[in-house]
Structure 1
Amino acid sequence: MPDPYRDIKHLIQSSAFSQALSLADAALAKAPRDVEILYLKTVTLRLMQKHTEAISTLNLILAVQPAHARAHQEAGYCYLALNNIETAKQAFHYACMANPALVSAWKKLLELDPNNTEAAERVNDLSSLNKKLLAAMDLMYEGKYALAETICREYLQSDTHNPDAMCLLAEIGIKTKVYDDAVFLLETCVELHPHYQPAKLKYADLLNTLGQHNKALQVAKEYLQQLPNNLVAQTTLAAAYMGVGDLDKSLAIYDAILAIEPKRAGIHLQKGHALKAKGAFEDAVASYKAAYGLKPSYGDAYWSLANTKTYRFSEDEINTIKQFADQDENRSLDRVHFCFALGKAYEDTQEYALSFDYYAKGNALKNSMLGYSAETNTKLVNLQIQHCNTDLFSQRASGNPTCAPIFIVGLPRAGSTLLEQILSSHSSVDATMELHSILGMAMRLRGRMTNDTPAYPANLHALSDQQFAQLGDKFIEDTQPYRQGAPLFIDKMPNNFMHIGLIKCILPNAKVIDARREPMACCFSGFKQLFGEGQEFSYDLKNMAAYYNDYVRLMAHWDKVLPGFVLRVNHEEVINDLEGQVRRMLAFCDLPFEQACLDFHKNKRAIKTPSSEQVRKPISREGMQQWKHYKAFLQPLIDALD
């Protein structure tokens, strides 16, 4: 059977470019959006010196896959041939960001800018890497994880504890969310190779990602004992301090770095995040502006300003943002940031059609970078409903008996930060953060996927009461560092709604509060929010609706099999009757009423979620009907919601 990919590649290698082009066009007539054929056509056109045609074909690829690294690299070669040096540099930069293993793109960047220290370091590091491992790294960045893992594991059979291979295999684990394997590999690598610094940095970063900030502190400090002036390790340490809520130490590190290197835009951005979490709004704004002042194309700096929810852009800022948001050839995450920032800017000026247009562009671009499947999420919800049944809970009598945890679950942008702010204003309740402990536990129970169906939650039926008690003990132990000594504490990870059955088994006396918001308001608020990580369902209106429907369906199941275990708190009712809902929540948590809970906006705690500035103000009705300004554009969402 003819293989057009193989045949076109063979013709290109034989310099039979006209035949290769004809074969590519014939294949595209049947499948016009076949990215691999489009890429081979681009290469053919470039080799035929038809650079303008090649760029047009590349734009078709990037419209489908904005992060196609080799397409950006081909664009670099074409723009270079057309003597468009600045655009060529930008294209090679995008290629390197999409696939940091592209040595040829890094070399071109270095040729075009000999002062580019990052390119010089990358060329040096990649050139010294074993060729098999470099090939595996390339495959990993191309999303071919299984093949990359196979090459790594084969290499480790002959060189059992090679640190480069161990780190690369851990990185594949991180990208495929097999976090236990990644932690084990990096921990082992650090023990076996105490002077191999990349492992320590990757390990500390992973611990921060998993919310294990205390452990990350220890690893980063050990690194800095060996290399006290390493700025990457210092920023990792600052992130860990921020994670445990020690914002002053985090800010002190950022200030120390900026005292030496004041032109580091990324450090100004991180400092802004810490200041925002602390409640120092004006100082945070100044830091974000310092970041974009040093790097005008820094989309994250503009989005961070928009994400304060209360900052209003000037006309000059809007013009600058628009300049970058309208660069159709720019398919980077920076442009996503610019589009979301411009959506917020036009929302503030009540130009809702323009606002939605940019929100939609940003979402479409971000969604094209992800591999989210609504069908997969529905299947996971079905498994919870199937296996977390009355039989499971009627057989279980133990677990850790503590009453300390209060879980606030639900969808993002449903008002969970407001509920956390209210409850944590009580003298008996600590706020922590969106803890990863339950999600990590579920991931470990799931294990490595050997077929289409994960072991969890079916395997909950096979666990003993003692094992559930041990898991409950582990949760309390892991979360202890985030508490400040109050009898109760809050875990505000919204995605825990998926694992309420697991929570009941390991912590039968925990309290669970479902933060519920009117579906249109909740879904649209999520659609116009660019999340730092996760929430991949939120970048498409139909995916958003499917996720909301699955969430409501699963919560109804928990109500059925665990009556009274979950308290539903509607956002609209909190706004309309604050005191009534506050008393209701406190009674559910067996807490006496305290006036401080009504005066929640006076609570000075650190808040790291997008709603931080909003919950530092008295209750407001402002956001309840915002979605109606966009109703004309939301029919796909309206149609898809149950």
Structure 2
Amino acid sequence: MDKDLQMKLQRAYDNGMRAIAAKQVDKAYAIFQAVLKAAPSHGPTHLQMGMIENARKNGLTALNHFAVAAKLMPREPVVWTKYGAALLNENRDAEALKALGKAERLNPNSYPTISCLIQAHQRSGDFKKAKVYLRKALKQRPHDGRLYRLLSMSHTFSEGDEQLSKMLSVNPDALEDDLSRAQLEFGLAKAFEDIGQYAKSFEYLQKANARAKTAYPYDPQARTRSIQSYQAAQSDVDYTVPLPDAVEDAPIFVTGMPRSGTTLIEQIIAAHSNVTSLGETGFMRTRVQRLLQNGKTFHHLNDVSDKLRKVVAEGYLSDVAIRAPKAQRTVDKSIGTYLCLGVVKQIMPNAKFIIVRRDPRDTLLSIYRNFFDQGTHRYAYDFDTLAHEYASFVDMVEFWKTKMPEAIYEADYDALVADPEPQSRALIAAAGLDWEDRCLDFHKSKTSVKTLSLAQVRQPIYKSSQKAWQRYGDAINPLLDALEKRGIHVPD
């Protein structure tokens, strides 16, 4: 490269980095684009573009930038760590472990690398290795509450447990911030639950949720407006008539509330020889929302129908082809998809919709017992907002049962757990598949799993999580009252 051009590019790159430091991300993006146009093989710029695209939730674009950066800068551990993390986000766990292994060899004590390796091994079901890296991470950062929560997720505690003693010895005031304290408390709640001390467990749950609620406030009115907007945008449509040139593909969408059993349902379907699991992609809702939403208002489905096939359907299938290029059929477990089923029905009339329902007391208590990263599921940290969110979900499901009842299959998690084989057979039939006995052996699959129930999903169907709400006695009465206030029926 010409020396003058090299100096000019370096100045431009430095300007881009200054824009990043000043939080002028759009300006930095434009600068880095110009650098890559002049020098497509500038590795540091690919790294920065990957991080910007990742922050913008453009995971596949970010992955491409990190892949190029890894080829151009093979001796830089941070590049391999970013590349490995991006591969994890796309459910390419085997490739992610290879990339993270290279990062670890280049810098064995890198905390970001160790953190990614924890996640990779937990998701692949290798909890023994995950614990090794967790302990290594804790030696570096004993005041990071997140690590204690992660450890609790892959560890079953018992009376006199050494790990519980270590967690109890941590001074909360020494932790980094309130969110770190909350994550330690979520971990302790899990530990006391494991050993059957439910009153003590609930004490820690209340503390943890109070901290998280302060950090991530929830606006019930905004949620109600959002539900109403999605319904208005997809009303007055004849869903028996697909759009002209509708896509013939028949993806299977599993959706529902978090902690309702969506992962179990997905894994049973994904065990079928003709099906590939995509995990929780968010691809469809993201594309629909970009098309329908205009600021705070929504376009009606009929007003954008000419764009649906190209912008949404073809875009979605393009995303899927990158993640699962050899798949015959796919199952997509994106819980937010229930908001836009009408759009999907019009552009993909052969798609199958599985909505998972579970006893709301168990569903909402399970949400309350967990911490959700990056401010997602903000309703999760208070019984009243949990009940509001659940009522919103029920409202949307009833809307679809009115608008296109033949297209919806409701999978009853509690019935499935009580009688697995007939319920699994009905599920597989609803997905448009022929029965295979392997669907009952889903827990033997090596599929990557993104769920808070990392250990449980590697087991056969079990009943121990049913009626878990009863263990907490009067402590959950406020949840029952909040459900009753919203007219939510609970089983006898």
TM over 0.5: yes
**Does the 8 A contact of 1:210 with 1:436 survive in 2?**
no
Q: Report the Cα distance in structure 1 between the residues aligned to 2:245 and 2:30, rounded to whole angstroms.
A: 31
Q: Name the structure 2 match of 1:377.
A: 223
2:193 is the counterpart of 1:344: no
Q: Name the structure 2 match of 1:258.
A: 104
**Does the 8 A contact of 1:204 with 1:219 survive in 2?**
yes
Q: Name the structure 2 match of 1:461.
A: 302
2:323 is the counterpart of 1:482: yes
Matched AA of 1:514: I
The alignment partner of 1:431 has SS state of strand
Aligned residues: 467
Deviations 1:517-569 (CA, angstroms, capped at 9, x unpaired): 10000000011111234222112211111000110111001010011111100
Q: 1:391 to 1:573 in 2, by over 3 A?
A: same
**Does the 8 A contact of 2:84 with 2:95 survive in 1?**
yes
Please report the TM-score for the alignment, with normalisation by the length of structure 2.
0.86
Cα deviation for residue 307 of structure 1 reads 1.9
**Does the 8 A contact of 1:325 with 1:338 survive in 2?**
no
The alignment partner of 1:490 has SS state of strand
Q: Name the structure 2 match of 1:362.
A: 208
Matched AA of 1:590: G
2:353 is the counterpart of 1:518: no
**Does the 8 A contact of 2:91 with 2:279 survive in 1?**
no
2:354 is the counterpart of 1:501: no
Give the unaligned 5+ runs of structure 1: 1-158, 173-181
Cα deviation for residue 167 of structure 1 reads 4.5
Higher Cα Rg, which structure: 1
The alignment partner of 2:279 has SS state of coil
Deviations 1:465-511 (CA, angstroms, capped at 9, x unpaired): 45435421111111112225232101111111112122223222211
Cα deviation for residue 208 of structure 1 reads 4.4
**Does the 8 A contact of 2:262 with 2:356 survive in 1?**
yes
**Does the 8 A contact of 1:398 with 1:469 survive in 2?**
no
Q: Report the Cα distance in structure 1 between the residues aligned to 2:238 and 2:20, rounded to whole angstroms.
A: 40
Decide which of 410, 413, 429 is 1:587's aligned counterpart.
429
**Does the 8 A contact of 1:325 with 1:335 survive in 2?**
no
Greater shift after overlay, 585-594 or 393-402? 393-402
Q: Name the structure 1 match of 2:465.
A: 623
Cα deviation for residue 162 of structure 1 reads 6.2
Deviations 1:158-214 (CA, angstroms, capped at 9, x unpaired): x9x963586579877xxxxxxxxx6xx765443213489886445323544676544
Q: Report the Cα distance in structure 2 between the residues aligned to 1:328 and 1:420, rounded to whole angstroms.
A: 41
Matched AA of 2:401: D
* Identity value in percent: 25
Q: Report the Cα distance in structure 2 between the residues aligned to 1:286 and 1:236, rounded to whole angstroms.
A: 21
The alignment partner of 1:598 has SS state of helix
Deviations 1:257-316 (CA, angstroms, capped at 9, x unpaired): 333433333422221211111221211122112211232112222111112364669644
The alignment partner of 2:173 has SS state of coil
Matched AA of 1:603: S
Q: 1:573-612 maps to which residues of 2 (within 5 A)?
A: 573-612=415-454
Please report the TM-score for the alignment, with normalisation by the length of structure 1.
0.67
Q: Report the Cα distance in structure 1 between the residues aligned to 2:280 and 2:56, rounded to whole angstroms.
A: 10
**Does the 8 A contact of 2:32 with 2:45 survive in 1?**
yes
Q: 1:491 to 1:187 in 2, by over 3 A?
A: farther
Q: Name the structure 2 match of 1:109.
A: none
Q: 1:192-591 maps to which residues of 2 (within 5 A)?
A: 192-194=34-36, 200-208=46-54, 212-308=58-154, 310=156, 315-324=161-170, 326-327=172-173, 331-391=177-237, 393=239, 396-398=242-244, 400-447=246-293, 449=295, 454-456=296-298, 458-465=299-306, 467-483=308-324, 485-533=326-374, 534-591=376-433
Q: Report the Cα distance in structure 2 between the residues aligned to 1:169 and 1:399, rounded to whole angstroms.
A: 47
Cα deviation for residue 462 of structure 1 reads 0.6
Cα deviation for residue 234 of structure 1 reads 1.9
Q: 1:565 to 1:391 in 2, by over 3 A?
A: same
The alignment partner of 1:389 has SS state of coil
Q: Report the Cα distance in structure 2 between the residues aligned to 1:497 and 1:162, rounded to whole angstroms.
A: 44
2:480 is the counterpart of 1:638: yes
Q: Name the structure 2 match of 1:70.
A: none
